[in-house]
Amino acid sequence: MRLASANSSKAYNHTASQNKASNEVAYKQWIESHTPEEIYTANNARKLLKKKVPGCVYPSLQDARIPKRPVQAHLFFGADRQASGDFRGLKPTEAVSLSAKEWASLSPSERKVRTDLLFLTKETNII
């Protein structure tokens, strides 16, 4: 009895994996039939629907052609500080608060260097 169920289980798993692969290909083709701007707009509409219709789930459309937003300057600064190893041994909340205090104490010229670097990436990354 277990042998028969094991064989049928293998057949169902094989069919499921084939269906999954064909569905992924169809989804990718459907996504690529629309422009990135259309997908971006559709995702914004889905976010609004999630807020307006409680309990409904509208997952975002996944499109690799839509570039990610760049990191904000103060977050970029915090990531650099964390990578430097100066906060080793501190709790993450303490490290973030210290990093935020350091960012606040930076002079405008030092902030401008980081902001300019991120401004260049914003021009190339945002739709």
Quick check: is 62 in a domain?
A: no
Tell me the residue range of the domain where 22 lies.
2-52
Residue among 109, 107, 100, 112 nearest 74 (CA)? 100
Convert the pLDDT of each residue in 45-77 to its tens digit. Answer: 999 998 898 888 889 999 999 887 767 888 888
The set of residues, in sequence order, having a beta carbon less than 8 Å from that of 95 and lying 6+ positions away, is: 81, 82, 87
Quick check: is 101 in a domain?
A: yes
Please indicate, yes or no, whether residues 77 and 109 belong to a single structural domain of this protein: yes
Please indicate, yes or no, whether residues 78 and 35 belong to a single structural domain of this protein: no
Please indicate, yes or no, whether residues 47 and 77 belong to a single structural domain of this protein: no
Quick check: is 57 in a domain?
A: no
Quick check: is 64 in a domain?
A: no
Give the pLDDT score at 80. Answer: 82
Any idea of the CA torsion for 96, 97, 98, 100, to the nearest 10 degrees?
90
Please indicate, yes or no, whether residues 78 and 112 belong to a single structural domain of this protein: yes
Q: Report the domain count for the chain.
A: 2
pTM exceeds 0.75, yes or no: no
- How many other CB atoms are found less than 10 A from the CB of residue 99? 20
Q: Which residue's structure tokens are 């041994």?
A: 89
Quick check: is 59 in a domain?
A: no
Q: Could you give the percent of the chain with pLDDT greater than 90?
A: 46
Please indicate, yes or no, whether residues 86 and 45 belong to a single structural domain of this protein: no
The C-alpha atoms of residue 45 and residue 32 are separated, in whole angstroms, by 19
Quick check: is 116 in a domain?
A: yes
Between 37 and 126, the higher pLDDT residue: 37
* Helices within the chain (DSSP H only): 2-32, 36-52, 73-84, 92-105, 108-125
Quick check: is 60 in a domain?
A: no
Q: What rounded mean pLDDT belongs to the chain?
A: 86
